[in-house]
A and B are shown apart, each in its own frame.
Chain A
Amino acid sequence: MVRDLEPGLSPGPAARPGGRSRSSAARLAGPARTALRWLRAPLPPPPDSLRRGPLRPDAFPSALRSPRLTSLLGIALAVAFTVCFGTGLISHLIQHPPAWFWWPSRPVGLYRVTQGLHVATGLATVPLLGAKLWSVYPRLFGWPPARDLAHAAERASIAVLVAAALFQLVSGVLNIARWYEPMPFFFTAGHYWSAWLAVGALIAHIGVKLPTVRQALARQPDGPALDGPALDRSALDRSALDRPAAGELTRRGLLGTVGVAAGVITLATAGQTVAPLAPVSVLAPRRPQTGPQRLPVNRTAAGAGVRDAAFDPRYRLTVAGPVRTVHLGLPELAALPQHTVVLPISCVEGWSATGTWTGVRLRDLLGLVGVDPADAEAYVESLEVRGRYRATTVPPPHSRDPFTLIALRLGGEILHPDHGYPARLIAPNRPGVLQTKWVARITARRPE
């Protein structure tokens, strides 16, 4: 996230527009060269009288800032963002599966791990991003602000990267606290597109900064070899800068501090999914065993507006297939073979909790309406009249899995209304938002 190209260190911006054209056909070489010249033409320098405040050359005197520190933080940040992007993309694809996507029903807790990792990594990234931006903050006030158009474009892309990275962390933190008023957009969609923006800007940034990072990591200015005779003067000068003044942090000290901060945040929050940590996780947005029937709830029956419909004695679960349709009341559902499974509810918000569910296998219900459960998908609809998650599709791997239930009980008790009474879907290895509650209708069909 270095906010300015170090002249001489990197050929930088020339690689962008010029590079693409130069490799193409020779007839394009003329216009490309013109465009390149235009992009690299020096811009008129701003008057030096404007160079005040943070724009002064000595405005940021900390000797702790260095390309090496920035590079190390940057590499750690790139790893963290890759983990978050990968796990986030998995979650997105499960919820909006394109035709090529396939997600297994086992291991049952895989999504619990990927999504728990997504949120935990994102939270641990907070101190990392903070330190990284601190380390390059002086470059925001680099002088001149733009040497040429290519330099200006590169700086603009850095602004996009910083904004998108901050966007991801801030919106993620707000989301796990369920505080949506500050976000003037639908969280899931905004977080998703901003993730692409961050990753794109990050990849371009890595491309621009690769030589800087390589050079910064090639030497070991604070290593024991410092006193050796082979070192040139500039390295010695740098080592003098790297030696901290009294009471100042060393680079290693700062990196250690960032690591400890990430660890403290993790310990303070990870108990929302790692149950043994719950007693020390004083900042966990959820407790895995806090809630009706010792399980957390995201959407209550009252919040979903289904209380009346759920307790209506005329409730029937409709199972529709291509051959026939059946309507099952609660006594009839209870008379079907009952199975008990231990499965987690794994929320997209990163919390998870294990429940013991009892009910009818979904595959048995599909069999009732004459569908081969080995290759069928089920469209499961809730009693909810509206709402983004009122219906979900259960793909074949989950439909045929014997662990997938239309559950009537949780922990041996009749389902609490907030857990989906009279009947809810519970399937292995699926996000909580897809575990439809208050199920009213199941449509069996062959997968498209």
Chain B
Amino acid sequence: MKTARRALVVSGVLIMGYAVGGALTDTAVRAGVLVFLVAVLIAHDVLLLPLAIAAGALISRIVPPGLRSPVRVAAVISLAVTVVAVPLVLGRGRVPDNPSLLPLDYGRGLLVVYALIGTTTAVAVVVRRRRRRPHGDRDDPGSGSASRSGSVDPR
């Protein structure tokens, strides 16, 4: 396995070298790629991800324990869809003489997706509670250990 790992690391470093050399000699690339590489890294690691983690902590604060998981699931899915949708919603790529480009109302489309995610989550919560109720006395699957949740900081 050691040999295989060495081969992987060496070939990976060589390929990275090929990428750097290729980008440096490609006149269509220039320094802009480096700027963008750093920019997306900072935007993600300093902005987007801390905000997402803060949102997760906020959910632990304001959402009752029994609803936290479904709310988290809905939030994660919504966030992922939003990342893909934002450039479409902003529509900065539209050109006046080409109506076939970005032909839809993406703001409305994104709201439709949010609504579907919300509805599906709500239905899932209701169905799960109904299913659990006949089997036990608890009407809230999460409330049994609610006392513990105060000491455990999620995310």
Contact = CB atoms under 8 A, between A and B. Distances in A.
A225 B37 CA distance: 45
A372 to B, nearest CB: 37
B15 A200 contact: yes
A55 interface: no
B88 A130 contact: no
Contacts of A298: 98, 101
A328 interface: no
Contacts of B22: 193, 196
B87 A173 contact: yes
Given A167-B40, A200-B11, A284-B104, 20 more contacts: A130-B80, A137-B45, A162-B41, A163-B38, A163-B41, A166-B41, A167-B37, A185-B36, A193-B26, A197-B20, A200-B19, A205-B12, A208-B9, A247-B60, A261-B76, A264-B77, A264-B113, A282-B113, A287-B103, A291-B100
A338 interface: no
A283 B110 contact: yes
Contacts of A207: 4-9, 12
A167 B36 contact: yes
Contacts of A295: 100
Given A247-B67, A257-B77, A269 B93 contact: no
A253 interface: yes
Contact of B63 (A131, A247, A287): A247
Interface string A297-316: 11010110000000000000
A29 B139 CA distance: 70
A200 B45 contact: no
Interface string A206-240: 11101100000000000000000000000000000
Interface stretch (A58-66, A356-364, A436-444): A58-66
Contacts of A173: 83-84, 87
Contacts of B153: 61-62
A290 interface: yes
Contacts of B109: 268, 282-283
Given A190-B32, A246-B145, A292-B100, A200 B12 contact: yes
A180 to B, nearest CB: 7
A204 interface: yes
By DSSP majority rule, is chain A's interface helix, strand, loop, or mixed?
Answer: helix
Interface of A: 11, 15-16, 19-20, 23, 60-64, 123, 126-127, 130-131, 133-134, 137, 140, 157, 159-160, 162-164, 166-167, 170-171, 173-174, 177-181, 183-186, 188-190, 193-197, 199-208, 210-211, 245-249, 253-254, 257-258, 260-262, 264-265, 268-269, 282-287, 290-292, 295-298, 300, 302-303, 418
Contacts of B26: 189, 193
Contact of A190 (B29, B65, B90, B102): B29
A19 B2 contact: yes
A52 to B, nearest CB: 15
A180 B5 CA distance: 39
5 contacts: A19-B9, A173-B83, A179-B93, A207-B12, A261-B80
Contact of A290 (B17, B69, B103, B117): B103
A287 B104 contact: yes
A178 B90 CA distance: 11
Contacts of B146: 246
Interface of B: 1-2, 4-20, 22-23, 26, 28-33, 35-38, 40-41, 44-45, 49, 52-53, 56, 60, 63-69, 72-73, 76-77, 79-81, 83-85, 87-88, 90-95, 97-104, 106, 108-110, 112-113, 117, 142-146, 148-149, 152-155
Contacts of B2: 11, 15, 19
B106 to A, nearest CB: 6
A412 B63 CA distance: 60
B9 A16 contact: yes
Nearest to A3: B45
B59 to A, nearest CB: 9
Given A193-B29, A207-B9, A269-B84, A178 B93 contact: yes
B85 A283 contact: yes
Contact of A297 (B10, B56, B100): B100
A302 B104 CA distance: 22
A193 B23 contact: yes
A296 B100 contact: yes
Contacts of A290: 99-100, 103
Contacts of A284: 104
A300 B29 contact: no
A189 B29 contact: yes
B37 A203 contact: no
Given A200-B12, A200-B14, A257-B73, A183 B36 contact: yes
Contacts of B30: 185
B101 to A, nearest CB: 6
Contacts of A285: 88, 101-102
A137 B28 CA distance: 33
Contact of B149 (A167, A183, A246, A260): A246
Contact of B18 (A189, A194, A196): A196
